Amino acid sequence: MSSWIVVLVIVACALYAVAIYNRLITHRNRVRNAWSQIDVQLRRRHDLVPNLVESVKGYMAHERGVIDAIVEARKQAMAAGPDVAARADAENTLGRSLRSLFALTEAIPQLRANENMLSLQEELGSTENRIAFARQHYNDSVMQYNTALESVPSNIVAGIFGFRSETLFAAEETERQPVLVKF
C-alpha cells in the first residue's frame, strides 16, 4: 500500500516537472521569437536609411556631418554581432542620429512639403514605433522568462536542464521621450 503511495508521489512529481519544463520552453521560444521580431524591424530601419539619405542630400549640403553620422551609424549597427547589449548600443546610436536629422529637416520648408519626404517620415516613424513595440514585447517576454527561471520550483528544473537567463534590450534615457517625428 505505502509503496503505491511512493510511486504515485514520484509520478506526480515527474509530471509536474514536465509541465514546468514545457512552460520554460514556451517562455524561451517566446523570447527568441520576440528577438527575431526586433531584428526584422531593425533591418527595416536599415533598409529605409539609404532612401532617406538620398531624399534629403540635395537640400542639406551644409549638414554633411549629420548625414555622414547616419551612414556610419547604420554601418556600425549592421556590423554589430549577436550580442544583445552591443547590438542595442549600436542601434541606439543610429536612432539618435536619425532623430537629429529629422529635427534639422523641420527647418527646411521644401522638405516639409515634399510628398516623398512625408511618406518616408511616416514609414520611419512607424518603424520607430515597431522597434519600440518589439522591444517592449521582447522585454516583457524576457521578464516573464527570467522570473520563471528564478522562482521556486521552476528554478530547480531550469538548473537541471541548463536554462540561462536572457538580457533585456535596454532603451536609452533620451529615447523615453516621444519621438520627434512630425507628419
Partner 1 sequence: MVSTGGIAAGGLSPAGHVSFFDEQARRRRGTWRLSFACLLVASGVGIVLSAAVTPLLLLIGGGLLNLTAWLGLAPAVMHQAVRIIGGWAAYHLGNFDRLIGSLDHVNRLGDLGVLLPPLTKLSPLAVPALIAAAIVWLGLRALTMRAGGEDLIHRLNARPANPADREEHQLSNIIEELAIAAGLPSPRLFVIDSPIVNAAAVGRTHKDAAVLVTRGLLDSLDRAETSAVIGHMIASIGGGDIKVTASILAVFQTFGFFLTVLDLPFRWSAWRALGGLVVVSATPRPSPESIVRAGDSIEAGLGADTMPDIERMFAWVPFQWLRYVLLAPLLPPMLISMLLKLVLFLWTAFFLGPPLSWLWRNRRYMADAKAVELTRDPDALARALTTIAGSGVPPGGELREYFFISAPAAASKSALGNRQTMSAALHPPLARRVARLVAFGAGPVGRAEPFRPFRWLTTLPPMAALAVAALLALLVPLFAALFVMIFYLTAIAMTLALAAGLTLVVAIFGG
> Which residues contact partner 1 (rule: CB under 8 A)?
30, 33-34, 37, 41, 118-119, 122-123, 125-126, 128-130, 132-137, 139, 141, 171, 175-179, 181-183
Least spacing, CB of residue 183 vs partner 1, in Å:
6
Omega into 153 within 30° of 0, i.e. cis? yes
Nearer to partner 1, 34 or 69 (CB): 34
Instruction: Say if CB 38 and CB 129 are below 8 A apart.
Output: no
The least CB distance from residue 149 to partner 1, in Å, is: 19
| Helix (H), strand (E) at residue 62 | none
CA distances from 159 to 17, 24, 53, 56, 148 (A): 12, 11, 49, 53, 12
User: For residue 152, what are the CA distances in angstroms to 13, 20, 141, 156, 168?
Assistant: 14, 11, 19, 7, 22
Residue closer to partner 1 (CB basis): 22 or 29: 29
Closest CB 139 distance from partner 1, rounded Å? 6
CB of 37 to partner 1, least distance (A): 6
Closer to partner 1 by Cβ: residue 2 or 177: 177
Nearer residue to partner 1 within complex by CB, 110 or 147:
147
Cβ–Cβ under 8 Å, residues 77 and 93: yes
Beta carbon of residue 47, minimum distance to partner 1 (angstroms, whole number): 15
CB nearer partner 1, residue 46 or residue 130: 130
Instruction: At 114, give phi and psi (nearest 5°).
Output: -70, 125
- Least Cα distance to 127 among 64, 53, 57, 43 occurs for 43
